[in-house]
Structure 1
Amino acid sequence: MKKKTTHLILIGLMFGMALTSCTSQKSTLDVSSEEKALFDSNDEEPVEIANDETEYEIIIIEPGFNTWLNSIARPEGYYSQSFLENRNAIMVINWNQRVLNPMRWNPNLYEMQINYDPSIDYGYEVNYKLYNYFIYFQRKYNQRLGPFIPRI
């Protein structure tokens, strides 16, 4: 009898701690009015991500992304290439899992898989722009593609 009571108290404490930790996190991101205006922009200038040496190319046609990249995102050189590669690897895995699960994730957001191999050196520019697209996407659509809060 004593053991059952102890287990119930421990389960109750664990449930209380879990509930507290869930409610203490922010559910939305702090997005400035300037950034929101870019999200609502109809500017559809495509962003081409290419590395001539490795012959890899990504074209992003997302309204407002090009302007956001040039005005809100951290400048090129701010992050190291290894940082970008590590984050991109995580976010690509999550992205591709969502593409493959359209019943759970909005298929209008996650339309195509991204063929990204972490063992290939795509170069700094490809990794920089892909990383920033993921940040833009997460902030615009209030999504999380990994354990990190998508901050600028």
Structure 2
Amino acid sequence: MKNIIYIALLALFVYSCGSSGGRNFPSDKIANSKNDTVRIANDSLEYEIIIIEPGFNLFINSYARPRGYYSLPFLENKNQFLVTEYNQRVRQPQIFNPDLYLNEINYDPSIDYGYEVNYLLYNYFVYFSRHYNQRFSVPTRI
């Protein structure tokens, strides 16, 4: 009798450690995980920013400082230095991970991109540095 109880407990333990293959997850969670592309463009389409990064939407909606927290000159100044360093890392695949630094970012400081583009670009660098444990010479703490 004692052995049957131990076998039943062991079987229950093994069963509870099984995978979640047959469970149904809420469809809104699945939809949110697929929608991790952020695109901002002006009306004349002179510029656009497209961020395809899993988890960035959650970061921008939950953890980033709210819009209006930073001034536009602050964001433009930070983005100018961050983009420069990011692009230097893209050009050095032998030193920096080419899987992280895929494409250069075309950011011209003489163009007025507006608050939204600068806000999202700066917060992308904050997310990128935290998520991939990358340090830039310009502090990206929020």
Tell me which interval the TM-score lies in, with the shorter structure as reference length.
Answer: 0.7 to 0.9
Q: Whose radius of gyration is greater, 1 or 2? A: 2
- Say which structure, 1 or 2, has more relative contact order (CA 8 Å, 6+ apart): 1
Pair 1:64-2:51 in alignment:
no
Segments of 5+ residues of structure 1 without an aligned counterpart are 1-40
Paired positions, count: 111
Segments of 5+ residues of structure 2 without an aligned counterpart are 1-31
2:96 aligned counterpart, secondary structure? coil
One-letter identity of the residue aligned with 1:110? Y
- How many Å apart are 1:55 and its aligned residue? 2.7
Aligned identity (percent) is 63
How high is the TM-score relative to the length of structure 1?
0.68
Cα separation, 2, equivalents of 1:115 and 1:60: 13
- How many Å apart are 1:111 and its aligned residue? 0.3
Cα separation, 2, equivalents of 1:77 and 1:53: 24
Counterparts in 2 of 1:36-55, with a 5 A limit? 44-52=35-43, 55=46
How high is the TM-score relative to the length of structure 2?
0.73
CA RMSD of aligned residues (A): 1.7
2:65 aligned counterpart, secondary structure? coil
Q: Deviations over 1:41-94 (max 9, x none)?
A: 955520112232563101111000011101100011100110000000000000
1:132 aligns with one of 87, 99, 123:
123
Partner of 1:100: 91
Pair 1:151-2:141 in alignment:
yes
